[in-house]
Chains A and B, each alone.
Chain A
């Protein structure tokens, strides 16, 4: 496996080597150009000289397997990869701009910035998890921001793909990851848990909020394992102006058992985008760590030691813990439709215990009166709609934390519902089809437009016998 080091000006398979960009523990990055590819690119080359970490080559092999299978704005675009005949390499899109490491000098960050960054990263993780990959090395240096604001995850050398052989798992007994951010189950050798990434993001958000790492930067396995029994100092203790909702979210991400964290990154992103809707628990107000008695029990008592199950590679989390949005027309024009809508939503939620419901109402704005909506009357209207939404949802008897309420002010209901679905990563929209009124004939069908344009499934509900002679079927799903 002896190889010459790359040099600037050399050419490999048509890629012209440019300036060296970075030399890390496991690989080096070089700027490259190619006459057939216009986008800015980097070439990643593993460190496989003798005496170097054998994990470097396996990790490179994993990245060569995983990166070509990923798509979307939250990962660098794969360009090419080369074999082991001469020089193993991986060429990908170069993401301009700096990694989140550049923020570390300015910690602690303003609360709004923490929430915005957190939501962006959670969205990227959700996109990754939906492509069957757990990143397992989420940290500031592995996250970049595109000009449009989307977070981009890089370095899949420690990642796990649920549908591919995991070479890292079989190869090494010690956990690989980055000490300050590694989830407890990852420390114990479990590599297939997507919520490990949620833990790492939580550790990052804690760091951004307080300027301190929740578990320090331990260098030994015993130090790493400490987080299995010792809980972090609550952020509010370090930063008194940390809002209760942010502490709630951060500490939930840092829960030791994965099942106590958010079920999906998408649900975490949703809460970071709607601080007023975060259900607060005892975590939110904590000002001190758990007492030594509790910590000692967790450390030594066989019944209180955390245990981790290897997650069976069954269905995807998003499929069992989706965000369902229901668009409710208010005030109720058609009580039968209101009831049918609630019944349908009830059926969907009954089969998906991890699902959460976002109740949405569009408060139509007059184009001309747009600037005067913030007056007293407008606020009252908004509040009244919220009250009515809660009233509509009350029979569903959902606990706080599974349901949120949103009044959107917009001129076009369909556009508002679609935008809400896009921004919040909604998995399924449920809405009623308005009866054949004059208004609908004049304006077209809102549900029709949403079903045609939505980024997710749409169920259109109609009350039996209540719709009159309409062309649309009583219930339709669109992928």
Chain B
């Protein structure tokens, strides 16, 4: 079975829809959303409607730090993120907040673990920026494969029995075999706010039969997504960075 894994959608409905359409064309049968459905972007309603519909069909959804902040202000965010979170809290209704609040921190499925950030301390929202971070996460969990987001820059780390780590920048469209018995950490890029210099939306396809993870980049209507951010009165930088992918 093919599973589309999407992370850091950030209320960017245009990017989300484009990725879902691309995944459908490539034969995705299930969906996993790795958190941060909202925050930064200005179309949380459409994104949440679609996410809830996917959940009803059996999609796995875990909670991200922006989903948490959309329900309750816990501080600790950058100025732009805090402004977007405050705006999101205002526009969401009680049912939507309840949906976000009900999301689990992590979900285990077969030999895989889905989590938004560092699996060692999921509620602390640490970034997995390098092989050492990935190693700490992997040491804390029994799963063979761990998939997360949060960083907005895609990377893949492989761990051997000799406890050495292989860091790799995945090439879009080229499937990487998640060979056994090696353990792997996949850090997905962002659907709704890529930061690796490529503005195209980023998601991954997990092919269970082939045991392969393939990263895909999908162009989407950035103009419309940015226009909504500006119309909502959110910080201009949140609109501008979508065009640069930074």
Contact = CB atoms under 8 A, between A and B. Distances in A.
Nearest to A168: B166
Interface residues of B, number: 17
B180 interface: yes
Contacts of A164: 168, 174, 176-177
A300 interface: no
Given A61-B182, A163-B171, A171 B164 contact: yes
B168 A165 contact: yes
B174 A54 contact: no
B180 A83 contact: yes
Q: Summarize A's interface: helix, strand, loop or mixed.
A: helix
Contact of B166 (A54, A64, A165): A165
Nearest to B172: A163
Interface in A146-179: 163-167, 169-171
A84 interface: yes
Interface stretch (B60-68, B102-110, B154-162): B154-162
A296 B171 CA distance: 43
B179 interface: yes
B162 A54 contact: yes
B76 interface: no
B160 A171 contact: yes
Interface string A31-45: 000000000000000
Given A165-B166, A165-B176, A58 B156 contact: no
Contacts of B156: 165
Contacts of B181: 84
B201 interface: no
Interface residues on A, range: 10 to 19
A461 B182 CA distance: 54
Contacts of A58: 160
Given A163-B171, A164-B174, A165-B158, A65 B179 contact: yes
A134 to B, nearest CB: 16
B165 interface: yes
A170 B164 contact: yes
Contact of B179 (A61, A163, A169): A61
Given A163-B171, A167-B166, A84 B180 contact: yes
A214 B177 CA distance: 39
Given A84-B180, A84-B181, A171-B160, A166 B174 contact: no
A329 B208 CA distance: 57
A438 B165 CA distance: 70
Interface in A49-83: 54, 58, 61, 64-65, 83
A58 B164 CA distance: 12
A65 B156 CA distance: 15
Given A64-B179, A84-B180, A84-B181, A171 B162 contact: yes
Contacts of B166: 165-167, 169-171
B114 to A, nearest CB: 21
B155 to A, nearest CB: 11
Interface in B133-189: 156, 158, 160, 162, 164-168, 171, 174, 176-177, 179-182
Nearest to B131: A170
Contacts of A83: 180
A84 B144 CA distance: 14
Contacts of A169: 166
Contacts of B167: 170
B160 A64 contact: no
A65 B165 CA distance: 17
A167 B158 contact: yes
B14 to A, nearest CB: 29
Given A64-B179, A83-B180, A165-B156, A170 B174 contact: no
Chain B CB count within 10 A is highest, among A83, A163, A165, A167, for A165
Nearest to B182: A61
Given A163-B171, A165-B156, A165-B168, A65 B177 contact: yes
A65 B213 CA distance: 13
A471 B163 CA distance: 66
Contacts of B179: 61, 64-65
A164 B167 CA distance: 11
B181 to A, nearest CB: 5
A65 B160 CA distance: 15
A167 B174 CA distance: 17
B241 to A, nearest CB: 26
A163 B164 contact: no
Contacts of B171: 163
Contacts of B162: 54, 171
A44 B164 CA distance: 26
Nearest to A54: B162
A83 B182 CA distance: 11
A68 to B, nearest CB: 8
Contacts of A167: 158, 160, 166, 182
A109 to B, nearest CB: 40
Interface in A225-277: none
Nearest to A161: B174
Contacts of B176: 164-165
Given A58-B160, A171-B162, 8 more contacts: A64-B179, A65-B179, A83-B180, A84-B181, A164-B174, A170-B158, A170-B167, A171-B160
- CB-based closest 3 A-B pairs: A165-B168, A170-B166, A163-B171
27 contacts: A54-B162, A58-B160, A61-B179, A65-B177, A65-B179, A83-B180, A84-B181, A163-B174, A164-B174, A164-B176, A164-B177, A165-B156, A165-B158, A165-B166, A165-B168, A166-B166, A166-B168, A167-B160, A167-B166, A167-B182, A169-B166, A170-B158, A170-B165, A170-B166, A170-B167, A171-B160, A171-B164
Interface of A: 54, 58, 61, 64-65, 83-84, 163-167, 169-171
